[in-house]
Structure 1
């Protein structure tokens, strides 16, 4: 019997009613290299609320992941969201938030503001998704490197 690769079955799942989901990603042309971030905020009906594609200059691949998470959370401040589910295809940020630590001070300088913002939410979740389920945010992060800061699509 053929086995189905679970990565081929990855799809976006809506958060519970009253919750919002932020998918985020970072891309870097080197380590360090020119970098960009992408964030997408959707409501529980799957409707796009806002997306961001932003060039951030030179950063390491790990730094850009944390910066993308921070920018995704800042959307909450702008839009007044109280319940958020963060979804990411890299375990670095997910584990850092769960365990409140990073392997280096350079990453910790980005983790601390993330933790401060998370403390302002009524509720939050952060979880891992396979890379195949985070393609939209990945595309936005790569577009930022190539095109600079494209207009936001709403």
Structure 2
């Protein structure tokens, strides 16, 4: 994964990550080239955006797309030197699986096993559920992901 130039963590190595997955059914209005995508925003403790990311996916369920968005977020955060991460997402399933309170299907577990490898490199992290309304920026980035080929940071 490439780190965009100028992506320095303002004010230290603490950040918040908001991630979201997006899966559009093939009914009605079709937005973008891809039906599945993920995206998110990483910001510092003052709310200043450190990084945004968005990427398209193929053959993913909504829970898998949410998991991929979380994986990308954690991977990118560790790449830019973040050591303490507060993770927010609107998928209760993903929050419960990462917290060890729920076991998902093997595809989701495989994605989150990769995320846990990056989480293990942090000094500390928290994960919590937020409502969709509070995750609007990440949702917008996930929709952007449907318009492109691959992951962009």
Name the TM-score class by shorter chain: 0.7 to 0.9
Please identify the structure whose Cα radius of gyration is greater: 1
Q: Runs of 4+ in structure 1 displaced over 2 angstroms?
A: 100-103, 149-153
| Structure 1 equivalent of residue 148 of structure 2 | 148
Aligned to 1:29: 24
- TM-score, normalised by the number of residues in structure 1: 0.79
What TM-score do you get using the length of structure 2 for normalisation?
Answer: 0.80
Map of 1:114 onto structure 2: 115
**How far, CA to CA, are the matches of 1:30 and 1:138 in structure 2?**
16
Instruction: Please say if residues 40 and 52 of structure 1, whose CA atoms lie closer than 8 Å, have aligned partners that are also in contact.
Output: yes
Secondary structure at 1:68's aligned position in 2?
Answer: helix
Shift of 1:19: 2.1
Cα distance in 2, alignment partners of residues 23 and 144 from structure 1 = 15
Q: Which residue of 1 aligns with 2:4?
A: none
Which consecutive residues of structure 1, in runs of 5 or more, have no partner in the other structure?
1-16
Judging changes above 3 Å, is the alpha-carbon distance between structure 1 residues 51 and 149 closer, same or farther for their aligned structure 2 residues?
farther
Q: 2:18, 2:135 within 8 Å by CA — same for their partners in 1?
A: yes
Deviations 1:105-127 (A, max 9, x none): 12111111111111110010000
What is the aligned partner in structure 2 of residue 12 from structure 1?
Answer: none
1:42-90 deviation digits (Å, cap 9, x = unpaired) = 0111110000111122311111010000000011222010000000011
**CA RMSD, Structure 1 to Structure 2 (Å):** 2.4
Name the CA shift for 1:109/1:144 in 2 (closer, same or farther; >3 Å). Answer: same
Aligned length: 136
Over 3 Å counting, the alpha-carbon distance change for 1:88 and 1:79 in structure 2 is same
